Amino acid sequence: MSRLRWLQVACGGGSKMRFLAKFSLSLAVLAVSIAMAPAAKADPITVTSGGFSVTNLGNDGTGDPDMDSLTGAGQTFTQNVTAPSSFVAVLNNLTFLTGPTGANSGGSHPFTFSQLLTINGQTQTLNLLGSIDIGHTVDTVHILSATPLTFTFNTFSVVVTVIPTDLDGFGCTTNGELTAKFKVIPNTAVPEPATLTLLGLGLAGTAAKLRQRRKRKAE
């Protein structure tokens, strides 16, 4: 065989082997992706907030007893979810009751509070940070933040993040809502040992066949 012909055959064979190698690798990646991908189906989650009540917000001790006060009524709802997805829902209906808080109560006052949050039977404590601004005519309460909570189930997890909110009070009752974002994420599935074994055998067989073809071309 002439050198030119040998090079054509060798190069052609090399191209085919490279193609087969890339094709086999693509199949392997696809197999792993399919094995690790969780089934996308709707699952119901039931969410229950425990509610809360905080009083004497900004009160210097000389104002009306229990003024100002903030109450969050507990809520229960059911939502069908798929992973990945997200939605916003109401955690509490808020009632902000304002009144005289004392002559020396002006300014901003931080406070903390908490409530229980239950999703599909799992209960955690949601700790929140707030502040209240006491003015001459308007008192404003701010729900600032909370550490996100993560609820982990068999095939997915739910991350709950509180959305900050403000309420202005003018010496009367003000109503509002405390909402949160619910982010549903799939849990990473680990391929079964049998799947990994078959995948390894398939790759090993492909590599052996490529070596045999390379050896025959070189002879």
> Where in the chain are the domains?
3-37+191-218, 43-186
Query: pLDDT tens, position by position, for the chain (219 residues)?
Result: 555 454 444 445 555 555 545 555 555 545 545 555 544 679 999 999 999 999 999 999 999 999 999 999 999 999 999 999 999 999 999 999 999 999 999 999 999 999 999 999 999 999 999 999 999 999 999 999 999 999 999 999 999 999 999 999 988 899 999 999 999 999 985 555 555 555 555 565 666 666 776 767 666
Spatial distance between the Cα atoms of 90 and 79, rounded to a whole number of angstroms? 12
Identify whether the C-beta of residue 189 lies closer than 8 Å to the C-beta of residue 38: yes
The percent of the chain in helix, strand and coil, each rounded to the nearest 5, is 25, 45, 30
Spatial distance between the Cα atoms of 154 and 5, rounded to a whole number of angstroms? 60
Phi–psi pair at 46, nearest 5 degrees: -115, 120
Coil vs helix vs strand at 39: coil
Query: What number of CA atoms fall less than 13 Å from residue 104's CA on the CB side?
Result: 3
pTM above 0.75, yes or no: no
Q: Which among 43, 42, 32 has a CA at the least distance from the CA of 189?
A: 32
